[in-house]
Amino acid sequence: MKKIVLAAAAAFTLTSTAALAAEAGPELLKRQWTFDGATGKFDKLQLQRGLQVYREVCASCHSLKYVAFRNLTALGYSEDQVKALAAEYEFKAIDEEGSDVTRKGTPADHFPNPYPNDNFARASNNGALPPDLSLMTKARVGGPNYVYSLMQGYEDPPPGTELLAGMNYNKYFPGHQIGMPKQISDDQVTYADGTKASAEQISADISAFLHWAAEPKLEARHATGFRVMIYVLIFTILAYLLKRKIWARLEKK
């Protein structure tokens, strides 16, 4: 009787997991990232390529407001290179007489928003608001694999699909109708380091760069975690030996 009850309960649980598996949509493209796993690190050259893609392709519509130019030293740039890069941007300021002026960017500035305000952004993009990209890989199920897939997910809509005006078909986008047109194609950018710019390569580089933008402390987290785990492991072993030694007193009695 007990076995029957437990078997029924097991069947009950199993149907739940089966239902869960049936729900999955189109499977995302998966890639081995250098930052995967407990010891993963960013590939600095890849991040530099990704930065180039962001600046040459994405930045015309998308902001990256939580990333400051000074953060770019993490990509392997020197402070002088960062200063020079920041100076390519202009920011509004007020001078000592109170007049509106523009000044050059400094390492303390953040990447500027390409639009003066959200309404302007919507009006320029057929009503759609291009989201800020600083946290994109943490704000979507699938993380960097989602961005990687989305960049390569544009295709002709299947017959019978009615696209709304100005929308594009992307098989990985929830609902498949996305405001952003296809951005990435082969040789879209010419990489400074000579890497061949296939659409797949560009998609991987921008996804890795955006994951760095979303989780800039990832390397410190992995490295600290390794040290903490070794420390806790030694503590646990010592505590176990101590506990055994103390409890051995009871058996002697």
Partner 1 sequence: MSTEKSVWRRAYEWHEQRLPIVSFLDHSIGTKYPAPKNLNYFWNFGSLALFMLAVMILTGIFLAMNYTAHKDMAFDSVERIMRDVNFGWLIRYMHANGASFFFIVVYVHIFRGLYYGSYKAPREVLWWIGILIFLAMMATAFMGYVLPWGQMSFWGATVITNLFSAIPVIGDPIVTFLWGGFSVDNPTLNRFFSLHYLLPFVIAALVFLHIWALHIPGSNNPLGIEAAPADKIPFHPYYTSKDAFGLGFFMLFYFAVVFWAPNAMGHPDNYIPANPLVTPPHIVPEWYFLPFYAILRAIPDKLLGVVAMFGAILVLFVIPWLDTSRVRSASFRPWFRVFFWLFVINAVVLTWCGAQLPEGLPLIQGRIATIYYFVFFLVIMPVLGWIETPKPLPASISTPVLKPAE
Interface residues with partner 1 (CB under 8 A)?
2, 5-6, 9-10, 12-13, 15-16, 19-20, 38, 66, 71, 131, 134-135, 138-141, 174, 214, 216-217, 220-222, 224-226, 228-229, 232-233, 235-237, 239-240, 242-243, 246-247, 250
- Going along the chain, which residue ranges are E strands? 90-94, 100-104, 168-169, 177-178
Closest separation in Å from C-beta 24 to partner 1: 13
Q: How many Cα atoms sit within 13 Å of 110 on the Cβ side?
A: 11
Task: Please say whether the beta carbons of 203 and 184 come within 8 A.
Answer: yes
16/102 with CB nearer partner 1: 16
Closest separation in Å from C-beta 128 to partner 1: 13
Closest separation in Å from C-beta 180 to partner 1: 17
Identify the residue whose tokens are 């000044």. Answer: 103
Strand, helix or coil for residue 14? helix
Closest separation in Å from C-beta 16 to partner 1: 5
3-state helix, strand, coil in the chain (%, to 5): 45, 5, 45
Kindly list the distances between the CA atom of residue 244 and the CA atoms of 7, 235, 237, in Å, as whole numbers in the listed order: 39, 14, 11
164/250 with CB nearer partner 1: 250
196/253 with CB nearer partner 1: 253
Closest separation in Å from C-beta 43 to partner 1: 19
56/221 with CB nearer partner 1: 221
CA–CA separation, 123 and 228 (whole Å) = 50
Closest separation in Å from C-beta 236 to partner 1: 3
192/239 with CB nearer partner 1: 239
CA–CA separation, 20 and 11 (whole Å) = 14
* Residue 170 per-residue DSSP state: B
Q: How many Cα atoms sit within 13 Å of 250 on the Cβ side?
A: 4
20/164 with CB nearer partner 1: 20
